[in-house]
Structure 1
Amino acid sequence: MRVHVCAVGRLRTGPERALIDDYTTRFDRTGRGLGLGPLDMHEVEDRKGGGMEAEAALLERAIPRGAMVVALDERGQVMGSPAFAEWLAGWRDSGRGDVAFLIGGADGLAPALRARADAALSFGRMVWPHMLARVMLTEQLYRAAAILAGSPYHRV
């Protein structure tokens, strides 16, 4: 199952980019034998300043046809890493070819796009900067693959 992170904004060189690249490489390496991956980053940018609705239109175009759509949103489901790994494995095992995780811009995701999602995931009740949400998501994707592979990376 291919994994897509569809995010508003372009991430420049820096510590966040280095972390994302590292976790993406780890996920691709660990997930390959599990039927997970590759992990692709789709960055969109609304240069005309159209707000959430314009960002939503750009994100919609980045979602692969037929993909399971997961909105990252503070109102989404809060879960532990093992449960997240089970989510991924369940989608993979049900024959999903793609899953797309959506990360909005500074104002979040447009309500219509959020409503269109098949699931919503929250990293807790605190609001996180969208650039850090990318780092956290890629780490959790790698952690999920490590859990499914029986790796000692995840410790309880």
Structure 2
Amino acid sequence: MKITLCSIGKPHDAALKQSVEDFSKRIANYYPTDWLIIAPPKNAGVLSADDLKKAEATTLLQQLAKDDYIVLLDERGKNISSPELASLIQQRGNESNKRIVFLIGGAFGVAEAIFKRANFTWALSKLVFPHMIVRLILAEQVYRACTILRNEKYHHI
């Protein structure tokens, strides 16, 4: 199984890039891993929020395979613990999913088509975070889940 961490927006913030890359490399010790950064449309500044979400959805859906398991990060999703995230990842592997995609939407969220395409919607918190920080939290939590699955010492209960 491959893990793809996907975000709509600008490239990694220089201040956080090193940490995001560090956790991404750590995840790669367990699963093939990559980042897919989808740039907003060039005319994003003149689009309404709904039109922007639809344009981003069109681009995003072209990047997803039919059998990808999509975990959408959204503050209206379900709160889960780190061990529950580990279980979710393990279940995807047990079901022979080829790829699990963790998706961070655009500045205004995602279009309804993405909500419908998502297999699971996960809320990191009831708080809203800047996208660059969510990338770091996501990478760290996926790494933590990997260590939980291997009973390694990173995660303490």
After TM superposition, is the score higher than 0.5? yes
Identify the residue that residue 28 of structure 1 maps to in structure 2: 28
**Is the Cα contact below 8 Å between 1:27 and 1:39 reproduced in 2?**
yes
**Is the Cα contact below 8 Å between 2:79 and 2:122 reproduced in 1?**
yes
**Is the Cα contact below 8 Å between 1:72 and 1:101 reproduced in 2?**
yes
Identify the residue that residue 128 of structure 1 maps to in structure 2: 129
- The CA deviation at 1:112 is 2.0
Runs of 4+ off more than 3 Å? none
**Is the Cα contact below 8 Å between 2:2 and 2:99 reproduced in 1?**
yes
Residue 48 of structure 1 pairs with residue 43 of structure 2: yes
CA deviations over 1:24-54 (Å, ceiling 9, x no partner):
011112x1xxxxx211111111222151111
- AA aligned opposite 1:93: N
Distance in 2 (CA, whole Å) between partners of 1:13 and 1:91 is 30
**Is the Cα contact below 8 Å between 2:86 and 2:146 reproduced in 1?**
yes
Q: Give the TM-score taking structure 2 as reference length.
A: 0.90
In structure 2, stretches of 5+ residues that fail to align are: none
Identify the residue that residue 4 of structure 1 maps to in structure 2: 4
Distance in 1 (CA, whole Å) between partners of 2:101 and 2:35 is 10
SS of corresponding position for 1:64: coil
Identify the residue that residue 76 of structure 1 maps to in structure 2: 77
SS of corresponding position for 2:97: coil
Distance in 2 (CA, whole Å) between partners of 1:38 and 1:124 is 27
- AA aligned opposite 1:24: S
**Superposed counterparts of 1:131-142, under 5 Å:** 131-142=132-143
- Count of residue correspondences: 150
SS of corresponding position for 1:124: coil
SS of corresponding position for 1:150: coil
Distance in 1 (CA, whole Å) between partners of 2:65 and 2:3 is 10
Check 1:82–1:105 CA distance in 2 against 1; reply closer, same or farther (3 A cut).
same
In structure 1, stretches of 5+ residues that fail to align are: 32-36
**Superposed counterparts of 1:137-156, under 5 Å:** 137-156=138-157
Q: Give the TM-score taking structure 1 as reference length.
A: 0.90
**Is the Cα contact below 8 Å between 1:6 and 1:63 reproduced in 2?**
no
| Root mean square deviation of aligned Cα | 1.3
Distance in 2 (CA, whole Å) between partners of 1:26 and 1:89 is 17
Distance in 1 (CA, whole Å) between partners of 2:139 and 2:13 is 16
Check 1:12–1:138 CA distance in 2 against 1; reply closer, same or farther (3 A cut).
closer
Name the stretch that deviates more: 94-103 or 59-68.
59-68
Identify the residue that residue 34 of structure 1 maps to in structure 2: none
